[in-house]
Amino acid sequence: MKNLILIIGVLLIALNSLIGLILSGYSTESFLLSNLSLAISAGIIYFVTCSKMADGFKIGLASFFVVTGVVRFLCVALAPATWENNLLAIVAAGVLMIEFACIVGAWIASEKSEQG
């Protein structure tokens, strides 16, 4: 299962790279950021499934990160090439911060549930 997450991540990056090479309207910034977003999503989901958190946290977080990863990918893929006043880039960065906050919160809650 864990290796499947990495394989799917690599395949999605390869597909996105192929689409980026074929479509001329796909800007280089969006292409690179969307590949980075896919890699981050695969890494986060892999980290969660490999962690020593309770199984309930793993399942919930992995499902949540699939949804937020799609949202983040769409934000960076559809974002304009300029960085000024780029609302989609701000949303993507906010989603990433929420993901990391959820990991930390679940890690702390899982540690406390094991101790108590």
* CB of 44 closer than 8 Å to CB of 66: no
Task: Tell me the two tokens of residue 64.
Answer: 């949540």
| Residue 116 confidence class, pLDDT cut points 50, 70, 90 | low
Instruction: Give 40-49 pLDDT, tens digit per residue.
Output: 999 999 999 9
Among candidates 42, 29, 45, which has minimal Cα distance to 80?
A: 29
pLDDT in tens, 57-107: 889 999 999 999 999 999 999 988 888 888 999 999 999 999 999 989 988
Task: Give the residue, 38 or 55, on which the prediction is more confident.
Answer: 38
What are residue 112's phi and psi, to 5 degrees?
A: -70, -35
Q: Which two tokens stand for residue 15?
A: 């597909």
With 0-12 / 13-18 / 19 or more C-beta atoms within 10 angstroms meaning exposed / middle / buried, residue 39 is: middle
- Which tens digit of pLDDT belongs to each residue from 7-16? 999 999 999 9
pTM of the full structure:
0.88
34 contacts 9 by C-beta, under 8 angstroms: no
Closest CA to 29 of 77, 86, 69, 75: 77
Token reading at 109: 């809650």
